[in-house]
Structure 1
Amino acid sequence: MPERTDLIAAVERLAGRLRSLPQRRLQAGAAATGLELARWLDREAQLLEFPGREPYVMPDDGVHVVGDQLALAGRELVAVAVLPEHGGLLAEARERVARAARAVD
């Protein structure tokens, strides 16, 4: 499904960008933007995978791991959003990734 691969590609590009930023840029807000997106992706994945359970909140493990957290959360969402009715969620995720990428650049 192209929308799934497009989302993964966009998440990986942004995660790579976050991994390559200097610490001062991460601390100036790029890491917070990435963590906010990672937490949203992770929450949505958990809601699909474990309906009825309150999702855990992805921890803030520091500015240097936010790229990895984002990549993981994006892959988790794509892995669980497999039904056709999840297309709207994937489209929203792509839009959020695009907004975060613009904010980070």
Structure 2
Amino acid sequence: MLDTSPLTAVVERFADRLRAAPQSRLARGAAAVALDLARELAARAQRLEGGPERELPDAGVFVVGDQLQVAGTDLAQALREHAAPDGAKAPSVLLDEAVRLVEQAEVRAMR
């Protein structure tokens, strides 16, 4: 089984930083960056699971940390449980890409 702890660790760190961030930082763009990331992670999980893709709603700047946590956890679970579809990237490659996405978004959001 694929070890997804690197993904869950970076998602948890970023989500915690968002939850602790002042409203001014969230409103200046950190929340928008995090919501875009959460939507991307959720879409990747939904593709792996083979279900229909549904977009995460914009529920406001104060819940985006929770949305990111849920989307990241869902993707980690999907990576552990579902093999990559034929012709798709290996789960380990998908994991590495997701970790990079989270790290890059955190840098953009928290600068």
TM-score (norm 2): 0.86
Q: Give, in whole Å, the separation in 1 of the partners of 2:41 and 2:94.
A: 10
Q: Give, in whole Å, the separation in 1 of the partners of 2:94 and 2:2.
A: 14
Displacement of 1:104: 2.0
Q: Give, in whole Å, the separation in 2 of the partners of 1:71 and 1:23.
A: 19
Q: Which residue of 2 aligns with 1:91?
A: 96
Displacement of 1:31: 0.1
Q: Which residue of 2 aligns with 1:67?
A: 65
TM-score (norm 1): 0.91
Deviations 1:41-76 (A, max 9, x none): 00000011125x3x0000000000000000000000
- Secondary structure of 1:81's aligned partner: helix
**For 1:76, which of 61, 74, 77 is the aligned residue?**
74
Displacement of 1:9: 0.4
Q: 1:56 and 2:54 equivalent?
A: yes
CA contact (8 A) 1:41 1:74 kept: yes
Q: Which residue of 2 aligns with 1:29?
A: 29
User: Residue type of the partner of 2:92?
Assistant: G
The count of aligned residue pairs is: 103
Where does the alignment leave 5 or more consecutive residues of structure 2 unmatched?
85-89
Displacement of 1:2: 7.6
Q: Which residue of 1 aligns with 2:87?
A: none
Question: Taking every aligned residue pair, what percent have the same amino acid on both sides?
Answer: 45
CA contact (8 A) 1:3 1:91 kept: no
Q: Which residue of 2 aligns with 1:15?
A: 15
Q: Which residue of 2 aligns with 1:101?
A: 106
The Cα RMSD (Å) is: 1.6
